[in-house]
Amino acid sequence: MPLTDTAIRNTKPRPAPFKISDGGGLYLLVQPNGSRHWRLAYRFAGKQKTLALGTYPMISLAKAREGRDRAKRLLADGTDPNAQRRRDKLALKTAGDATFKAVALEYIENRRHALTSPYADQFLRRLEADIFPHLGTRPIAEIDAPEMLDVLRKVEKRGALEQARRLRQSVGQVFRYAMITGRAKHDPSTALKGALKPKGRQRHHTPMPRDELPRFLRTLDGYDGDPRTALALRLVVLTMVRTTELRAARWEEFEHLDVREPLWRIPAERMKARFEHLVPLSRQAVTALAELRALPGAKSNGFLFPSPSRECCMSNNTMLFALYRMGWHGRATVHGFRGVASTILNEMGFPPDWIERQLAHDERDEVRGAYNSAQYLPGRRKMLQRWGDWLDEVKNSGGRVVVLPSADAA
């Protein structure tokens, strides 16, 4: 027989706990001290379970029945009411002060083991520059697509279309992390796909014209800026590594600089393809390293190119701005030297596999990639030495044409 408020109020406690039923699994548990607790008995996955619905009279008979009906609907959908309650409590707890900045910093920290350090730092700087000032203190669950679009439009107005596109991807990663940790219900960045301005035709890294190499090399020798910057440019040209791989290089990565086969061992976490990369060093590269080591403060923080303003390495744009200062604005990029070297070494007749391995182009097969870190090392050592020698010949040519030697001459 269903309960009534009158019947509940008239119920007297007994020496032992007892139940009075309302129907549908809902009952009132009366304790010896007179307290009354609503409970719902139900079965889920073949097991008998109990759901607490509150204390009478704080939870009235009508409210207890509403709780029973909600639980029945969850059961009909195949959801355990107790499990749903735990999820709701977790969402309430985590969403209370979950700002976009707090979630983003947590996401980056949790992902550092899977990201290269330069990429993680770049990811954070991108958010610090354009997202945190506008949305950092906002509860992440309250940020919607129009609000996010307004922030990205500010980046577009600077003409940074590619930056806006990358920011949309970055905030999407943060929102998806917030969703799986119970602090957001949706990812507004997905609604912005197609809303941003297209980046237009892709601009590739501009290689330096070959006929300007002699003048560049001579200008580099007479560069009147920071000598570290000039040496960084010289090492980029000689080793064919990426800018980020060189500027974050540490002295501990270099081996056997004073013996016959000097080597630069770049750890996997600093490589784009996430595999260790071995760079054989020519005599010219070893000389540049010796000059670098002789500069004041050469080992101040372990980096070959320490930042003068913080405990880190040279800025990403330092070498590029040096190129501008030397007169190659819009006519060459630092990354473009890799293309110059690749073209010329191919014309010399060196095996393409040696060149591709020296460029550390992505190796998609993990086993093969790990094996390839040292593959062709003797041949690549000869190739880079021939490259260094040829650059010296070009620099000292005095304007005469220097004929490309064949790979066999190495």
Which of 210, 361, 368, 400 is the catalytic position? 361
Calculate what percentage of the chain has a pLDDT beyond 70. Answer: 88
The predicted pLDDT at position 228 comes to 93
Which of 86, 158, 324, 371 is the catalytic position? 371
The predicted pLDDT at position 332 comes to 83
356 residue type, one letter: E
What strands, in cross-sheet order, belong to the sheet with 26-30?
Answer: 18-23, 26-30, 36-44, 47-56
Query: How many other C-beta atoms are found inside a 10 Å radius of the C-beta of residue 174?
Result: 24
Which of 65, 68, 234, 242 is the catalytic position? 242
The answer to whether residue 92 is domain-embedded is no
Residues 243-272: tens digit of each pLDDT: 989 999 999 999 988 888 999 999 988 887
Q: Are residues 223 and 136 in the same domain?
A: no
Query: How many other C-beta atoms are found inside a 10 Å radius of the C-beta of residue 56?
Result: 22
The predicted pLDDT at position 317 comes to 86
Parent domain of 309: 210-409
Domain boundary, last residue among 82, 108, 135: 82
Question: Known catalytic residue: 242?
Answer: yes
- Phi, psi of 230, rounded to the nearest 5 degrees: -60, -40
Q: Are residues 288 and 375 in the same domain?
A: yes
Closest among 377, 380, 316, 373 to 342, alpha carbons compared: 380
188 residue type, one letter: P
* Total domain count, the chain: 3
Question: Does the global pTM surpass 0.75?
Answer: no
CA pair distance 394, 284, nearest whole angstrom: 14
Question: Known catalytic residue: 272?
Answer: yes
Count of residues making up the chain: 410
The answer to whether residue 244 is domain-embedded is yes
Q: Are residues 241 and 175 in the same domain?
A: no
Q: Are residues 215 and 187 in the same domain?
A: no
Residues 330-347: tens digit of each pLDDT: 788 888 898 889 999 999
313: β partners: 306
Question: Known catalytic residue: 107?
Answer: no
188 touches 148 (CB < 8 A): yes
281 touches 241 (CB < 8 A): no
The angle formed by the CA atoms of residues 375, 377 and 383, to the nearest 5 degrees, is 125
Q: Are residues 14 and 142 in the same domain?
A: no
What is the CB-side half-sphere exposure of residue 108 using CA atoms within 13 A? 20
Question: What value does the mean pLDDT of the chain take?
Answer: 86
The predicted pLDDT at position 333 comes to 86
Residues 47-67: tens digit of each pLDDT: 999 999 999 989 999 999 999
296 touches 393 (CB < 8 A): no
Q: Are residues 75 and 182 in the same domain?
A: no
Q: Which residues of the chain have pLDDT under 50?
A: 201-204, 364-371
387 touches 407 (CB < 8 A): no
Question: Known catalytic residue: 371?
Answer: yes
216 touches 208 (CB < 8 A): yes
Place of tokens 């991807």: 169
Closest among 166, 158, 154 to 126, alpha carbons compared: 166
56 touches 38 (CB < 8 A): yes
Q: Are residues 187 and 331 in the same domain?
A: no
Which of 186, 215, 218, 272 is the catalytic position? 272
Q: Are residues 291 and 395 in the same domain?
A: yes
Which of 338, 357, 380, 381 is the catalytic position? 338
The answer to whether residue 198 is domain-embedded is no
CA pair distance 230, 87, nearest whole angstrom: 58
295 residue type, one letter: L
Q: Are residues 156 and 230 in the same domain?
A: no
Question: Known catalytic residue: 36?
Answer: no
The answer to whether residue 252 is domain-embedded is yes
